Amino acid sequence: MTMQPGSSRRPVRGLATLVAATALLIAACGSATPSPSGPASASGAPAASPAGPGASAGSGRATPAASASILSLRVAPSAPCQPGGTGDSCIAPGRYELDESLVPGTATIDVPTGWFEWEPGGGSEGLLADGGADAPSGSGWGLLIMGIGRVNLDPCDSTKGSLRGSPTVDDVLHTMASWPGFKATAPTSVTVGGVPGELIQLTYTGNLSSCIAPTIWTTSSATPIDGYPMVATPSRPAKFLIMNVKGTLLAIRMTDYLEPSPFEIEQGVAQNPTRHQADQPKLQAMLESIQFTQ
């Protein structure tokens, strides 16, 4: 694995960004209701919801509100990861706006208690579940939202070239299904935020020794996206939702399995067939909460 999701939870930001975020937070929280069951950290005291007028008290969820009152996910306030705990390894639950580089217009998402933002590079934005005491560097389990740039014809061999022209959703799905060493399920039609898409699951069945540094595609900002968690030890499946949002190809990668992630195994986490059972409904709720607006 090359990207090590979860190894960098809260990037250090410039002073100007922090000042702007503070001003936004003050404005947004003017009518916010504190959440009595608010977030806590890996050891975790309750925090107030940052989502402003759209926040729903105590639920860790939010209802849609005007974009001007919603904070960007990139400047989400830190919070504990567990109810009743302390620390600031996660972000406060609520509705947040995704980075403007992902799609035209505005996209928002509801984040529950116990998750943190992960930024692997330009043109992408992720949310990962807290890893807990036995995985202090993070879980490597969650979702990654990204614009699709150059799609490789073989993730394990970039010399094989990439899709040409302006590929469609079907073009991307067909290419993914033909990747050497990967097994893809048949696409399933899914609608998120009023936008139709196609959902597939990919599993790597090839030889790990022949796929040392896989890159499935680059984002719309040219960030390479690797083969995690598929090309890893242990190998895990990944679900991909491919969509066309206002003329822009968007992918959402999800680690929707119960077992520990490869990144958790790297940190010494023991095998557990139900480790992420409680995280699965939260992942699905986040996906269903995504909204696209002008």
Is 80 contained in some domain?
A: no
User: pLDDT grade, residue 16 (50/70/90)?
Assistant: very low
Best CA proximity match to 255, nearest among 264, 247, 246: 264
User: Which residues does residue 250 pair with via DSSP β-bridges, in sequence order?
Assistant: 147, 243
Beta-sheet strands, E only, within the chain: 78-79, 90-91, 94-97, 106-111, 115-118, 124-129, 142-151, 182-184, 188-192, 195-204, 215-219, 224-226, 238-245, 248-254, 291-293
* pLDDT at res. 68: 57
Is 14 contained in some domain?
A: no
pTM score of the predicted model: 0.79
* pLDDT at res. 76: 96
User: Three-state DSSP class for 105?
Assistant: coil
Q: Are 44 and 84 in contact (CB under 8 A)?
A: yes
* pLDDT at res. 5: 64
* Among 29-33, 81-85, 167-171, 188-192, the least confident range: 29-33
Is 190 contained in some domain?
A: yes
Look up the domain containing 271 and give its range: 144-293
User: Three-state DSSP class for 183?
Assistant: strand
pLDDT at 118 > cutoff 80: yes
* pLDDT at res. 40: 30
pLDDT digits (tens, 9 = 90+) for 50-78: 333 233 323 333 344 445 589 999 999 99
pLDDT at 14 > cutoff 70: no
pLDDT at 30 > cutoff 80: no
The per-type count for the chain, helices as H runs and strands as E runs, is: 4, 15
Is 22 contained in some domain?
A: no
CA distance 49 to 273: 33
* Among 45-49, 198-202, 244-248, 266-270, the least confident range: 45-49
Stretch 99-123: mean pLDDT: 94
Is 159 contained in some domain?
A: yes
* pLDDT at res. 86: 83
* Domain total in the chain: 1
Pairing of strands 78-79, 90-91: antiparallel
pLDDT at 45 > cutoff 60: no
Q: Are 217 and 150 in contact (CB under 8 A)?
A: yes
Is 120 contained in some domain?
A: no
Is 242 contained in some domain?
A: yes
Is 282 contained in some domain?
A: yes
Best CA proximity match to 93, nearest among 143, 147, 129, 43: 129
pLDDT digits (tens, 9 = 90+) for 134-166: 999 999 999 999 999 999 999 999 999 999 999
* CA dist 83 → 47, 48, 235, 248 (Å): 9, 12, 32, 38
User: pLDDT grade, residue 87 (50/70/90)?
Assistant: confident
